[in-house]
Amino acid sequence: MSDQDEGEIYLNKLKVLTSKESKTENMQYCILSWPEKKACQITNFPHPYPQLSSIQKEMIRYGRKDGVQLTATLHLPPDYDPARDGPLPCLLWAYPGEFKNKDAAGQVRDSPHKFAGIGSTSPLLWLARRFAILTSPTIPIIGEGDEEPNDRYVEQLVASAEAAVQELIRRGVAHPNKIAVGGHSYGAFMTANLLVHAPHLFCCGIARSGGYNRTLSPFGFQNEDRTLWEAFDTYIEMSPFMSANKIKKPVLLIHGEEDNKQGTLPMQSSRFFKALKQNGAICRLVTLPFESHHYAARESVMHVLWETDRWLQKYCVANSSDGSEEPNAREVNAIQGKPDAEIKAIGAAGGVPEQL
């Protein structure tokens, strides 16, 4: 930027607005004068969450069994020592991506020096509950040459999840029986698929605003350009709805009632919930009134946090076995013989009670 209102801009009068941050210091803005390159800090924002100012953040690297190199960001609570405190309950939060070769899939796409920002529904909030949090683990779905990535979606998804879980256990930061998996949108789709195809890895799942039946988006989804009729077997294999009878671990479904994304319409969660309940799964559906694909209202955000924390405390922290046993009471009554309007657990909007 320059102080000149008009005319030519001279480099010796130029000022550059820059920002700086680190793993432990939140972003501050500076003015850099040219050509001296002398920086003058112009902001002094306080730490947004001083209680978590000493969280431990590390970008970790590990390999998949097919040789693809993976990365993830591991967050640990303040003052945590694996040798002294032992393994923690863990939440793995992810979002898969498609690639055409292994080299592209193995590239690092984030800086290990970024400040750990915590959003309103961020999984990092559970650092305050003394969870280990693994965010942004690379889950590449690769299709080299003429092969389409999604033709081997399930195989590569499970291999990536296994590599991440094995690394957490190797480091001694995660209890093998207390690792939960979660995600939003395509990450929710991933979560459901992992509970179908890799139940040995996770004790429970949290799926927000996902699409679970790919036949309901027959003209393509995410980066899949083929239609249902061109890749029928792929659509069916990738749809966790088609394997709802195989899900035995507890799963929490959350969806905005006004979600208008073509691939994640609210009926995706309501129909998946019905399929899970009819097959005896431990599950809960929470629909958020007036919310779209992302949640904005304070009531909705707080309710999502409450539901998520309650689920993690019950099925992750308290888990002492493989998590497949039945609880004393179901989360929601069986849906057999009930109309559609009576099978939704509705939260937010001033504390609307559950309708059972």
- HEC sequence for 61-113: EEECCCCCEEEEEEEECCCCCHHHHCCEEEEEECCCEEECCHHHHCCCCCCCC
Confidence category of residue 91, pLDDT binned at 50, 70, 90: very high
Q: Where in the chain is the domain with CATH 3.40.50.1820?
A: 50-346
> In percent, how much of the chain has pLDDT > 70?
86
Q: The tokens 């779209």 sit on which residue?
A: 292
Q: Which residue has the higher pLDDT, 356 or 174?
A: 174
Catalytic residues: 185, 259, 293
Stronger pLDDT, 336 or 127, i.e. the higher one: 127
Mean of pLDDT over the chain = 86
297-324: pLDDT as tens digits: 999 999 999 999 999 999 999 986 644 4
pTM, entire model? 0.84
CATH level 2 (architecture), domain 50-346: 3-Layer(aba) Sandwich (3.40)
